[in-house]
């Protein structure tokens, strides 16, 4: 199915011919479905049990997957602009990413009905299926600078997915590109930090912290680096909110039970929350 483009003049002529009413007859497949693929999306929900609550769990999980992908897309766009020294322009996709993360967080509210009894009615049907196995969530973590090479091992038999994760693991994260931008703006960032091996997680560095302290000392309206810091702070906060709500949802529906994917469940999530996104952006606030 393909969407047939139209011009403003054609749209105005169609509205006049319809006397303001919507078009009701189409010779080709509906343009909306051709663009959104709504019929495809609504065919993707295939619950494994007869429990009505599983549909909610399944669809919200799929919605979250779409938000993971959309947020990754925006972060990639921001990185391209940072590479091109287009700091002002990079603010747009970063702000969109923060709003997408708000939508992602809102999805948790649709699952607040689920008690342990509700989840247990279909949980066994999931087998070892777990959100831990989301490749797109791993992509998002890598983009944000949270790297753990061992977490891509479950995807080794999915060759294309695994290759994409390996590439993302060894590519500069958004935070790496921000640090490189600070260096190009004249801040004293050590060369060994700029040239470090990218397959490992970034360790907080006092030079990066000092750069952010200096940036925030100037609050002029044309301080685009300060605005960049605020956009990144918003993303880090919203992502932290998602991790916290994930933990709370697990505690609400499972308590301290073992996770479906073999982890310790809530205890494992709690430990993972100690890894901070954009660490120097937070530690610098102590010295501002």
79 contacts 95 by C-beta, under 8 angstroms: no
123 annotated as ligand-binding: yes
- What's the distance, CA 192 to chain centroid? 29
> What tokens appear for 18 in the block?
């319809």
How many angstroms separate the CA atoms of 91 and 233, rounded?
12
Half-sphere exposure of 129 (CA within 13 A, CB side): 10
Q: Both tokens of residue 46? A: 């295939």
Q: How far apart are the first and last CA of the chain?
A: 55
Dihedral (Cα; 253, 258, 263, 269), 10-degree rounding: 40
How far is 87 from 224, CA to CA, in rounded Å?
A: 7
42 annotated as ligand-binding:
no
Annotated binding site for heme: 246
Name the binding residues for substrate: 123
Residues that constitute the known binding site? 123, 246
């Amino acid at each position: 199915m393909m969407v047939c483009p139209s011009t403003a003049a054609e749209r105005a002529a169609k509205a006049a011919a319809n006397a303001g009413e919507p078009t009701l007859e189409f010779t080709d497949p509906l343009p909306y479905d051709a663009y959104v693929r709504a019929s495809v999306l609504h065919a993707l929900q295939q619950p494994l049990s007869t429990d009505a609550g599983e549909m909610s769990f399944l669809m919200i999980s799929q919605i979250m997957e779409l938000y993971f992908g959309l947020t990754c897309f925006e972060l990639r766009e921001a990185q391209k602009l940072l590479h091109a020294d287009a700091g002002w322009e990079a603010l747009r996709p970063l702000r969109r990413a923060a709003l997408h993360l708000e939508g992602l967080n809102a999805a948790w509210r649709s699952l607040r009905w689920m008690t342990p009894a509700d989840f247990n009615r279909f949980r066994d049907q999931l087998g070892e299926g777990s959100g831990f196995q989301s490749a797109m969530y791993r992509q998002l973590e890598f983009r944000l600078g949270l790297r753990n090479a061992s977490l891509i091992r479950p995807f080794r038999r999915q060759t294309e997915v695994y290759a994409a994760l390996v590439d993302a693991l060894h590519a500069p994260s958004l935070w790496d590109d921000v640090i490189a931008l600070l260096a190009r703006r004249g801040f004293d960032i050590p060369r060994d930090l700029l040239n470090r091996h990218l397959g490992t997680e970034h360790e907080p560095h006092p030079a990066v912290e000092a750069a952010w302290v200096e940036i925030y000392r100037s609050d002029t309206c044309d301080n685009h680096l300060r605005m960049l810091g605020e956009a990144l702070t918003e993303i880090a906060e919203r992502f932290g909110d998602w991790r916290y709500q994930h933990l709370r949802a697990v505690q609400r529906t499972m308590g301290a039970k073992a996770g479906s994917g073999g982890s310790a469940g809530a205890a494992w999530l709690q430990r993972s929350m100690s890894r901070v996104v954009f660490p120097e952006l937070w530690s610098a606030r102590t010295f501002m």
